[in-house]
Structure 1
Amino acid sequence: MKKPPTQSIKIAIPIVVLSCGIAGAWALVANRPELEPKVRTNEAPWVETITVQPQTLKINIRSQGIVKPREELTLVPEVAGKIVRMHPNFVPGGFFEAGELLIAIDPRDYDHAVAAAEAAIAEARRQVLFEEAQAEQAQEEWQALGEGQSTPLAMHEPQLAEARAKLKSAESELANAKLRRSRCDLFAPFAGRVVEKQAGIGQYVQIGDSLARLFATDAADVRLPVPAEQLGFLPFDFVSSGGGISRETGVMLSADIAGARHRWQGRIVRAEAVVDETTGLLHLIAEIRNPYQSEQGGVPLLAGLFVQAEIEGREQREVFELPVGVLNSMQEALVIDGDLRLHIRRLDVLRREADRIWIESGLTAGERVVISGVPVPVEGMKVRVQKTTPEISADDHVADADADADAGAAR
């Protein structure tokens, strides 16, 4: 029996499609483009370098602190009474000179005590004179009429001793009365300012009451924290001086007041006895003389002001300056020799700053240091110099070093 025509078509279509696919694949393979082999070249990488020269550097240590008065005290009375007089500038912020009368307490009760003590002295002196006369008379009478050994009582010796003791007691009472009277007047122990006033005229005060807070204006102090590793930059031998300041060192303080930068000159006068165990910092004390006078920059150095400090450092010779990023984590840099070969060299870092690194040793004058272009350095590999930046001047100069005292620069 003959198959229907539709069944034959179903069998023929897949055969035709498969044949066309095989023919197309053969045509692609036969007509593929010829690939030309490329020869791989191993060219030396291009690098960018700088030429270094030794410099003389003056490293200043930067710190910060809060201005504190040299002396600060609370004024309290040592006697009770009513305030009858005050200094005209006895107000918060008022100035006064050393030895000026600040507060006077009503002295009448104490004047009366002085007068009574003087009267007691007069009475005691009269009694002493009387007993001396009695003793002299008893001595004469005993020599004229008496027989045997005289007794102290008969010679008025105890009576005279008692009178003299009472005289000394009266003199002591007078001295105490005068002392209490002198304490009615409270004088300024130093030239200074009034921070806070807590009393007024007519007020009755007791012994120990707080009348005012005062501070001295002849000098101000600033505690400056410095990392222990930076003490070697100071212009004296901190170790041989026993941890003290062997000689005074200059310091420049600065702060922004009323939108302008102001500066005050001071000096490092001492160091505190211990290193802060929590921060590892040693505090140096900067002293500023006459902080409220016009010669200190025209603006007073106010107590409580936060200031930046730059402490004068010693000169460091034969140091090299490198940009940040030249050294790796192992403090190694890439140096090129005369044959344009690369060398990995470990350097001794004197100080790291925000924008530069100071090298103490490991480089020589005129050497070229790679600053970019070698992602994977290999010792002795050949390189090509793409660009050389201008040389860093070899002339001696003084550079101010930026250092954050709390972070601590690496050495």
Structure 2
Amino acid sequence: MKDFFRHRYSLPIIVISALLLVIIAVKLKPDLKHNPDQMPARLVEFIYAQHIPHRAKATAYGEVKPTTLLQANAEVSGKIVYLHPQLKAGSVLPKDTLVLKIDQTNYQLALAQAKADLAANKAALSELEIQQQNTTTSLKIAQRRLNLGEKELKRKKNLLTQGSISQSSVDNEEKNLLGLRQEVQNLKTQLAVLPAKQEVALAKIAASQAQIRERQQNILRTEQRLPFDSRIGKVLVEEEEYVSPGTPLFQASDMAQVEINAQLPLLHARPLILGIDQIKHAWDDARQSQSFIDNIHLEAKVTMVGGPPEAHWPARLVRVGESLDPISRTVSFVVAVDKPYEKIIPGKRPPLLSGIYTQVELLAQPQLRLVIPRKAIHQNKVYLVNAENELEIRPVTLAFTQGELAIIEHGLTENEKVIINDLIPAVANIPLKPIHKQDYQNSIQQQAATGETTK
């Protein structure tokens, strides 16, 4: 035996023999099997998988901005001669209030000059019209004299033939006739150019009228009136200050409406429009953008972040962003709040001022969906009670999750029993003792119908 252990092949032979013994022992060992008949039934709670009305909900955040912001700029140059005493940041002023006025003196003088030019041009036109009438009358008289002259020349030529008058008498008559013809021609020329002169006069009148309108408009531009009920922002000028066209004067926001540009991740936006047949083609045509908004029927609520519980307002969706934000990879949902300054409760519900950071809740219309508790999902699988009251483990495909709810796209059918409590260990086919939790089923239906989740 000692000689065997001293042999150089003894150690490999021992190792190989040991491995063979282990392999043989494993192969010959009987498989361990779970015998459901020998295991006690596990107590489990379940609800029925059902298609119930569900309202998708998403939450986004954004700052309040006025829907209409007026940046008033000077349209004419001059010295500011009037500022409304309440034209100060934070003041509230009604529509059509005169808040600023620029000196009108130069513009009034320019208007008077334009009116004088108009009067002169109208007088010139009247003079041309009188001249036309006089020239027409003179032409008729000259034409008649010409006709008489031609008859007289003819008569004298006949007398010359008879030898009753001299040649010089005929020559003088021809000379007079040429003078009459020249007079007629001059009058015709004068009449021919008068329409062109009248057109020039009419053009000057039109130019003068345009100057009057422009200078009247300049006078109107010296006054700044509010186009809507306004909350005043920055005031950038002082009384007696000289301003040029384009000089910023003040800012004012429309009090009728504010907007919140809420940024929502695309993944969270998808459930809001999932399954709405009317909007399948709305994205393909920009002209249908309003139709898209109308068809999705989203309800919106705006809440002041960090504010009191009463600080919330009903809102409505007015626009959806045309593209993803390149940095945050979010899509813009713009909601509007009408009359944000109404129903103020001091200390509880302030006005919805520009710059306030808000939470925007978007709630879709109800759709029938297969909804189960989120806690019933175990690594994309659900535990079911089968017809034999045994455990079935089945993979499912989620459409999306919302709070404590999971919306199933594939893998479950109506009225299957979904286990809602944990099973450790979860072994397929073990016997179960199922208990239906009707109260919990009702709670799921309530959460799905309202879009709310339990705290």
Structure 1 position 101, deviation (Å)? 1.3
Q: Are 1:88 and 2:85 matched, yes or no?
A: yes
Choose the corresponding residue for 1:147, options 167, 184, 193.
184
Structure 1 position 70, deviation (Å)? 0.6
Pair 77,370 (structure 1): closer, same or farther in 2 beyond 3 Å: closer
Name the CA distance, whole Å, in 2 between partners of 1:229 and 1:298.
32
Q: Are 1:334 and 2:383 matched, yes or no?
A: yes
Matched position secondary structure for 2:214 = helix
1:266 alignment partner AA: A
Structure 1 position 280, deviation (Å)? 4.9
CA contact (8 A) 2:382 2:418 kept: no
Name the CA distance, whole Å, in 2 between partners of 1:235 and 1:295.
37
Matched position secondary structure for 2:114 = helix
Pair 136,67 (structure 1): closer, same or farther in 2 beyond 3 Å: same
1:44 alignment partner AA: M
1:289 corresponds to which residue? 338
CA contact (8 A) 1:135 1:160 kept: no
Matches within 5 A, 1:99-178: 99-145=96-142, 146-148=183-185, 150-152=188-190, 156-178=194-216
1:321 alignment partner AA: I
Pair 162,382 (structure 1): closer, same or farther in 2 beyond 3 Å: closer
Q: Are 1:204 and 2:204 matched, yes or no?
A: no
CA contact (8 A) 2:300 2:361 kept: yes
Choose the corresponding residue for 1:44, options 39, 42, 47.
39
Name the CA distance, whole Å, in 2 between partners of 1:124 and 1:137.
20
Deviations 1:246-288 (A, max 9, x none): 2453211111466555110111123233344555543222111
1:239 alignment partner AA: K
Pair 60,154 (structure 1): closer, same or farther in 2 beyond 3 Å: closer
Matches within 5 A, 1:193-272: 193-226=231-264, 227=266, 228-232=269-273, 237-242=278-283, 244-247=292-295, 249-256=298-305, 260-272=309-321
2:280 alignment partner AA: V
TM-score, normalised to structure 1, is 0.77
Higher helix content, 1 or 2: 2
Q: Name the Cα RMSD after superposition.
A: 3.1
Pair 255,235 (structure 1): closer, same or farther in 2 beyond 3 Å: farther
Name the CA distance, whole Å, in 2 between partners of 1:320 and 1:160.
86
Identical amino acids, percent of aligned pairs = 18
Name the CA distance, whole Å, in 2 between partners of 1:350 and 1:132.
86
1:382 corresponds to which residue? 430
Name the CA distance, whole Å, in 2 between partners of 1:102 and 1:234.
53
Matched position secondary structure for 1:375 = coil
CA contact (8 A) 1:60 1:312 kept: yes
Name the CA distance, whole Å, in 1 between partners of 2:76 and 2:324.
43
Indicate the structure (1 or 2) with the bigger Cα radius of gyration: 2
Contiguous gaps of at least 5 residues in structure 1: 1-39, 403-411
Pair 201,47 (structure 1): closer, same or farther in 2 beyond 3 Å: farther
Name the CA distance, whole Å, in 1 between partners of 2:258 and 2:337.
5
Choose the corresponding residue for 2:400, options 337, 345, 351.
351
1:147 alignment partner AA: V
Pair 295,370 (structure 1): closer, same or farther in 2 beyond 3 Å: closer
Matched position secondary structure for 1:317 = strand
Name the CA distance, whole Å, in 1 between partners of 2:68 and 2:338.
13
TM-score, normalised to structure 2, is 0.70
In the comparison of the two structures, how many residue pairs are matched? 359
Matches within 5 A, 1:298-317: 298-317=349-368
1:369 alignment partner AA: I
Pair 240,300 (structure 1): closer, same or farther in 2 beyond 3 Å: same
